[in-house]
Structure 1
Amino acid sequence: MAGQAGVQVRMPSIEKEWRKLGGDDMWLVLRTRTGSLDDFAAAAAEANALAEEGVWAEAPSHAPQGYAVLLTHCADRDLLHQWIAEFTHRLESRGLTGALQGAPQVKHPPYLSSELPPQPAAYLVYTVDLAAMTADPYRTSHWHVPAAATARITAAADRWARLPGAEMRLRHNIYVVAVDLDDATEPLARSLHATGMAGLDFMDDASQRATHVSFTPGGMGLYQDTIDEAGSWQPMVERLRAALTASPADTDQGFIRPAGRYSIGIDTADVVQPFPGVQGYHMRYNGHLLDRYVPDANGIQVLRTAHLERAHDLSGWEVTDLGEGRHLVQARDLTPWYGQPLPDPDVLARARADFAGALLTEDVIAANPTPW
């Protein structure tokens, strides 16, 4: 169908994506050279207010040739059509023209294949509102980091991830769409508060370099950069250390360890290199312990004072005060940790002995049950 003032609705492409996603959340893109993001967002808000209950639009953002918006709760086909008709009318009333269509999910380039050798990644555990998490019956699916801290975290992630001239992709929950934003801080934050999950990628096919940021429920973050300068591991680790220390006051712990390419969350932090006493999922479901226990020893970590107090002996480590009761703790020699795909086994064993008392184990979890 077509709007009277120039918005062409390409319903076949919309229904194709709708069927492909099984009626779950889907992205719409308006390909246009008219109007502004404010006009587009206002039209979506008006359609939300006037359309029948069921379909909802959120996270309006720039797209490479126009604007994109996420539709949620769109399982009912008739309600989807009604919302789109109302949205089209509101776009036209604001003078926008162009083509409204479904946005296909983008594919990852081959240099991010999970079949490639693992690379170091930075894992972050941000400080959550434990009272809000305790009161939330859907706690394991929500973000729970306070709004002000989330704004700082997403702003730092945007600055860290940017690669000049690279293609930009934004993930809302599990859906990825190509966008072109000067600042992804607010879209990332909106996605986190709405769904508990978000991500940001920059991909440069010419250099085969990509930066990848993934946020998951419970205040978890993951950062990766495929930078390769003459085969040296140091630039990559320097970049990841910058991610670890970007917002220390909002961080309960962080560490750099091997991971598969384009990993999503902390649930898989033990896949390449197993934890000694727990599995990755234990971190997601025991957030109340992560401000004082760590899942493993790592060559570079950001820890709280409570972690240091529990550790057995850190006299052989470099400890730098980051303020707000946070500390950068790193090995004096990082080559055995990051100069090869996996840490040197003897070095890792000695490090685990150093951190004895601060390591998360199933006995610790049993002795400190969740408050909910």
Structure 2
Amino acid sequence: MGGMANHEGVRVDVAGILRQLEDNGFDDVRVEFVSQGTDESTVLDVAGRGVAVANDVAAERIWGAAPTASIAGVSVKLMDLSDLDAVAVWLEAFVGELRAGGLSGEIGATPLVRLPEWISQLAEPMVTAYVALAAPALGVGAGAGGTADDWCERAVEWASEAGGEAYLSSAGMNQLDTSKDVAAHLSSVLRASSSGALRYADEGASRAAFVQIGPNGQAVYQVHDPSAPQTVQVERARAAIIAEAAQAHFAFVAPTPHQAYAWDARSRALPPLRPEVTAAALRGHAELWSRLVPDAHGIQLLTQEHMGLVSDLSQWTVIEVTPGRFVVEAPDLTEWLRPEGPANSTLDKARADFGRALASVDDLR
């Protein structure tokens, strides 16, 4: 195998694919199909059929994962290689199904990057906004209805304030997006996959912003900026919540001492969540959070239904930011945002204030 092969309308850069395979220690390779003039949903559908057919043809020799969106097209991870000839067998079957579906274009190795090392080593408390969005309305996850376009535009607008370069992450791959269409590419990722993430990173300023969303609509927003006071990080977290208020059914802010790739990260931050609320409960009971809260936090976005259950918010600042959505803030945010968490007395008082709005053991069964 080698060079560029032409399969009646689908050109294959075999040499480039083998180079990435070699770079990966012959463990796996990501192949990318860039279509000529066919809509995204059709390409994903045909590519999905192509993966299934190719997996059958090359059974027990190589295996391709479900297609996901890349910046330029559709990417498939090939794994479990038994021999190099298996790559050619798989590609031939995959190309055949693309051609049968009326597609033309090019197949090559997916352009990948490693995230800058300094980003992966961030390990100081970061003020994090956790936002619960309506997943079906956003079109998050394969087969979901609606559109993610509006959310992606807001996410890019929020994250890009950090400056620097844009990195898209999906299905374990990272790509550098140097285009002016980052929001559109993020939207493609969310329509094709169960989750996606976006980073803007300015190495010269040691500043970064990170947005991640999962298939249940649970999103996290984080800023790393060692030169900015904590008040600025709080403002950025609050801005993320307010920007999503009309679409969110719950949100809260908490300092998280590491990069948060999902709501599970809250279980490892201070103050400790109530014993009955586990990381799995945060993730697995997404439907609860439009009417109940997992715990008290210094900043929360509540619905009218939440507000009907709370006991006493007379000592809290309550602002209706959009009809039926209220930002509720503690009188002393500094107390809540300490790396060691608020004093037990502060936490006990806050939990009493939220009263019946706190999810019970029975709610979490």
Fold shared per TM-score above 0.5 = yes
1:55-66 → structure 2 map (5 Å cutoff)? 58-61=68-71
- 1: CA distance, partners of 2:178 / 2:329: 37
Q: 1:171 is matched with which residue?
A: 169
Q: Are the equivalent residues in 1 in contact too, given 2:251–2:300 (CA < 8 A)?
A: yes
Q: Quick one: structure 1 residues 42 and 294, their matched pair in 2 at CA, closer, same or farther if it must change by over 3 Å?
A: closer
Q: Are the equivalent residues in 2 in contact too, given 1:172–1:188 (CA < 8 A)?
A: no
Q: 1:369 is matched with which residue?
A: none
Q: Quick one: structure 1 residues 28 and 18, their matched pair in 2 at CA, closer, same or farther if it must change by over 3 Å?
A: farther
Q: Mean alpha-carbon deviation: is it higher for 3-12 or for 352-361?
A: 3-12
The answer to whether the aligner puts 1:249 opposite 2:257 as a matched pair is no
The answer to whether the aligner puts 1:15 opposite 2:15 as a matched pair is no
Q: Mean alpha-carbon deviation: is it higher for 103-112 or for 310-319?
A: 103-112
Q: Quick one: structure 1 residues 184 and 86, their matched pair in 2 at CA, closer, same or farther if it must change by over 3 Å?
A: farther
Letter in 2 for 1:348: L
- 2: CA distance, partners of 1:301 / 1:144: 31
Q: 1:233 is matched with which residue?
A: 230
Question: Which digits, 9 at most, give the CA deviation of each residue in 1:83-142, with x for residues without a partner?
Answer: 6867999xxx9998xx9435445134235426x222211101112459xx9xxxxxxx94
Q: 2:134 is matched with which residue?
A: 127
1:1-372 → structure 2 map (5 Å cutoff)? 1-3=2-4, 8-9=13-14, 10-16=16-22, 22=28, 26=30, 28=32, 48=47, 53-54=53-54, 58-61=68-71, 67=72, 69-71=74-76, 77-78=87-88, 80-82=90-92, 100-104=108-112, 106-113=114-121, 116-129=123-136, 142=141, 146-148=145-147, 150-163=148-161, 166-229=164-227, 232-273=229-270, 274-276=272-274, 277-366=276-365
Letter in 1 for 2:182: A
Q: Mean alpha-carbon deviation: is it higher for 9-18 or for 189-198?
A: 9-18
Q: Are the equivalent residues in 2 in contact too, given 1:291–1:307 (CA < 8 A)?
A: yes
Letter in 1 for 2:125: P
Q: Percent identity?
A: 23
Q: Are the equivalent residues in 1 in contact too, given 2:67–2:192 (CA < 8 A)?
A: no
Q: Quick one: structure 1 residues 254 and 83, their matched pair in 2 at CA, closer, same or farther if it must change by over 3 Å?
A: farther
Letter in 2 for 1:267: D
- 1: CA distance, partners of 2:49 / 2:142: 29
- 1: CA distance, partners of 2:142 / 2:5: 42
Secondary structure at the counterpart of residue 270 of structure 1: helix
- 1: CA distance, partners of 2:321 / 2:77: 41
Question: Which digits, 9 at most, give the CA deviation of each residue in 1:1-28, with x for residues without a partner?
Answer: 22379985423224347776657xx354
Secondary structure at the counterpart of residue 162 of structure 1: helix
- 1: CA distance, partners of 2:354 / 2:208: 33
Superposed displacement of residue 284, structure 1: 1.7
Query: Which residues of structure 2 form unaligned runs of 5+?
Result: 55-63, 81-85
Q: Are the equivalent residues in 2 in contact too, given 1:227–1:235 (CA < 8 A)?
A: no
Question: Which digits, 9 at most, give the CA deviation of each residue in 1:188-241, with x for residues without a partner?
Answer: 2332233221000011111111111111121110000112335x1011110111
Secondary structure at the counterpart of residue 313 of structure 2: coil
Give TM-score scaled by structure 1 length.
0.76
Superposed displacement of residue 292, structure 1: 0.7
Q: Mean alpha-carbon deviation: is it higher for 12-21 or for 308-317?
A: 12-21
Secondary structure at the counterpart of residue 206 of structure 1: helix
Q: 2:61 is matched with which residue?
A: none
Number of residue pairs the alignment of both structures matches: 337
Question: Which digits, 9 at most, give the CA deviation of each residue in 1:289-333, with x for residues without a partner?
Answer: 111111111111111111111111111111111223111111122
Superposed displacement of residue 187, structure 1: 2.6
Secondary structure at the counterpart of residue 357 of structure 1: helix
Superposed displacement of residue 146, structure 1: 4.7
RMSD in angstroms over aligned alpha carbons? 3.9
- 2: CA distance, partners of 1:29 / 1:233: 44
Letter in 1 for 2:76: L
Query: Which residues of structure 1 form unaligned runs of 5+?
Result: 31-35, 62-66, 134-140, 367-372
Q: Are the equivalent residues in 1 in contact too, given 2:44–2:192 (CA < 8 A)?
A: no
Q: Are the equivalent residues in 2 in contact too, given 1:16–1:102 (CA < 8 A)?
A: no
- 1: CA distance, partners of 2:20 / 2:176: 17
Q: Are the equivalent residues in 2 in contact too, given 1:145–1:219 (CA < 8 A)?
A: no
Letter in 2 for 1:259: T
Superposed displacement of residue 245, structure 1: 1.1
Q: Mean alpha-carbon deviation: is it higher for 43-52 or for 76-85?
A: 43-52
